[in-house]
């Protein structure tokens, strides 16, 4: 298959590209580089040893999307492009609606116009909000608590409506739990801008000496050691989940919904100590107040993904820490300074026409 990845130079997109290429698929990346580096394209080429097309463009721009579908015979789309910072979404709900909802609407509209009706959508465990019980099954009612989570929920509903109106659509909705770690090659990883919001990148930067200490957000939760429990999923396992989902919807038309997690939870302190063991240094921390909006425990029931997709996570917390530490220590500044909205670093060959087109668009 030829698979288009929106958000393809991002953290999860770049790892998914590598897994698709390894499985023999062709890959086209579309990204406006709002939160990623064009250097990820070269890293994908290097790790996979294969060519990949990159188009710098915006999912909200119909002309850009038409250009992609006209130039590349796309069989399926994995739609990862989104804004994803929960805190920022509270401050900028309009921006989140615009990119996540309007962008998704534009994408499926242009897909339909070009006869492409196979789609995997990146949703999130955040749509469950504060669940009544864990582990969380797909039957657990959605109760999104942030503008970010509400945009994802809205797109899930939009996709169900789309299928009701036109049953040719084959749609997989994947609700990811906490994606963490990096590629075992040390060449691909998460490249957060500024102060990381999430636990693992923060710990890695403390270990590397970039930050003084970790603030542990509360130790009074009803958990093993009082700190929050999450289901941390290695990004390579998550990437492989997309291949399993694609395979599933090619066999089973309709709208599928799957949690992707490990089914196991770890506390903040367990993660911290696992990382200390891997990097062989002490990671200073202090206990601070709870972060508003945090839940005590978020852990996936992964039986449906195991039974229907034949997919399970294979990497444990130690492997997550090892791969993240390799990435952090070999790339202390991530992909480097290439976060400028006008940079085209790493873009080459058949990408140039599309990047010229994209350069004329307003930046997001």
Q: How many CB atoms lie within 10 A of CB 154?
A: 17
Choose the catalytic residue: 11, 96, 128, 148: 148
Q: What is the DSSP string of 12-68?
A: HHHHHHHHHHHTT-EEEEEE--SSS-THHHHHHHHHHTS--EEEE--TT-HHHHHHH
Q: How many residues bind ligand NAD (CB under 6 A)?
A: 29
CA distance 246 to 244: 6
**With CB cut-offs between 5 and 8 Å by kind, which of ligand NAD, ligand UD1, none does residue 7 bind?**
ligand NAD
Task: CB nearer to ligand NAD: give 143 or 282.
Answer: 143
Selection from 230, 231, 265, 248 nearest residue 305 by Cα: 248
- Map tokens 């797909």 to a residue: 138
Decide: is 150 part of the binding site for ligand NAD (CB under 6 A). Answer: no
- The arrangement of strands across the sheet holding 53-56 comes to 53-56, 26-31, 2-6, 76-79, 118-124, 170-176, 254-260
Decide: is 182 part of the binding site for ligand NAD (CB under 6 A). Answer: no
The residue sitting closest to ligand NAD, measured at its beta carbon, is: 10
Three-class SS of residue 302? coil
Please check whether residue 214 is in contact with residue 272, taking contact to mean a CB–CB distance below 8 angstroms. Answer: yes
**With CB cut-offs between 5 and 8 Å by kind, which of ligand NAD, ligand UD1, none does residue 86 bind?**
ligand UD1
Q: Residue 271 is encoded by which pair of tokens?
A: 């993660």
- Applying CB under 6 A, the residues found at the interface with ligand UD1 are 86, 124, 126, 178-179, 197-199, 202, 214-217, 228, 230, 268, 291, 293-294, 298
Decide: is 122 part of the binding site for ligand NAD (CB under 6 A). Answer: yes
Selection from 245, 92, 97, 76 nearest residue 176 by Cα: 245
Active-site residue 232, yes or no? no
Task: CB nearer to ligand UD1: give 11 or 69.
Answer: 11
**With CB cut-offs between 5 and 8 Å by kind, which of ligand UD1, ligand NAD, none does residue 300 bind?**
none
Ranges within 16-55 binding ligand NAD (CB under 6 A) = 31-36
Question: In the complex, what is the shortest distance from the CB of residue 188 to ligand NAD, in angstroms, rounded to a whole number?
Answer: 11
**With CB cut-offs between 5 and 8 Å by kind, which of ligand NAD, ligand UD1, none does residue 12 bind?**
ligand NAD
Decide: is 320 part of the binding site for ligand NAD (CB under 6 A). Answer: no
Which residue in the set 124, 172, 187, 344 belongs to the binding site for ligand NAD (CB under 6 A)? 124
Q: Residue 338 is encoded by which pair of tokens?
A: 């290439």
Please check whether residue 86 is in contact with residue 197, taking contact to mean a CB–CB distance below 8 angstroms. Answer: yes
Q: Which residues are catalytic?
A: 148
Q: What is the binding site for ligand NAD (CB under 6 A)?
A: 6-7, 9-13, 31-36, 58-60, 80-84, 99, 103, 122, 124, 176, 178-179, 364
């Amino acid at each position: 298959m030829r698979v288009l990845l929106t958000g393809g130079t991002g953290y999860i997109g770049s790892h998914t590209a590598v897994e698709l290429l390894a499985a023999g698929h062709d890959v086209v990346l579309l990204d406006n580089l709002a939160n990623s580096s064009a250097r990820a394209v070269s890293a994908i080429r290097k790790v996979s040893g294969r060519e990949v097309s990159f188009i710098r463009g915006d999912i909200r721009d119909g002309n850009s999307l038409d250009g992609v579908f006209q130039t590349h015979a796309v069989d399926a789309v994995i739609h990862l492009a989104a804004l994803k910072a929960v805190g920022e979404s509270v401050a900028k709900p309009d921006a989140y609606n615009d990119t996540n909802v309007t962008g998704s609407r534009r994408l499926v509209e242009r897909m339909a116009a070009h006869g492409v009706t196979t789609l995997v959508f990146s949703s999130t465990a955040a749509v469950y909000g504060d669940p009544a019980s864990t582990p969380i099954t797909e039957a657990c009612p959605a109760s999104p608590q942030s503008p970010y989570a509400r945009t994802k929920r809205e797109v899930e509903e939009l996709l169900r409506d789309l299928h009701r109106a036109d049953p040719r659509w084959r749609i997989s909705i994947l609700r990811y739990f906490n994606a963490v770690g990096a590629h075992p090659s040390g060449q691909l990883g998460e490249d957060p801008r500024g102060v990381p919001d999430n636990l693992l990148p923060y710990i890695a930067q403390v270990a590397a000496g970039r930050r003084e200490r970790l603030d542990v957000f509360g130790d009074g939760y009803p958990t093993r050691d009082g700190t929050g429990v999450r289901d941390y999923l290695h990004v390579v396992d998550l990437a492989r989940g997309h291949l399993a989902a694609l395979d599933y919807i090619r066999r089973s038309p309709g709208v599928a919904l799957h949690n992707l997690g490990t089914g196991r939870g770890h506390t903040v302190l367990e993660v911290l100590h696992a990382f200390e063991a891997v990097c062989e240094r002490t990671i200073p921390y202090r206990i601070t107040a709870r972060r508003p909006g945090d839940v005590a425990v978020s852990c996936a029931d992964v039986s449906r993904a195991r039974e229907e997709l034949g997919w399970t996570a294979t990497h444990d917390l130690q492997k997550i820490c090892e791969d993240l530490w390799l990435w952090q220590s070999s790339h202390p500044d991530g992909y480097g300074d290439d976060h400028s909205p006008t940079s085209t670093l790493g873009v080459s060959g058949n990408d140039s026409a599309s990047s010229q087109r994209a350069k004329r668009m307003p930046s997001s």
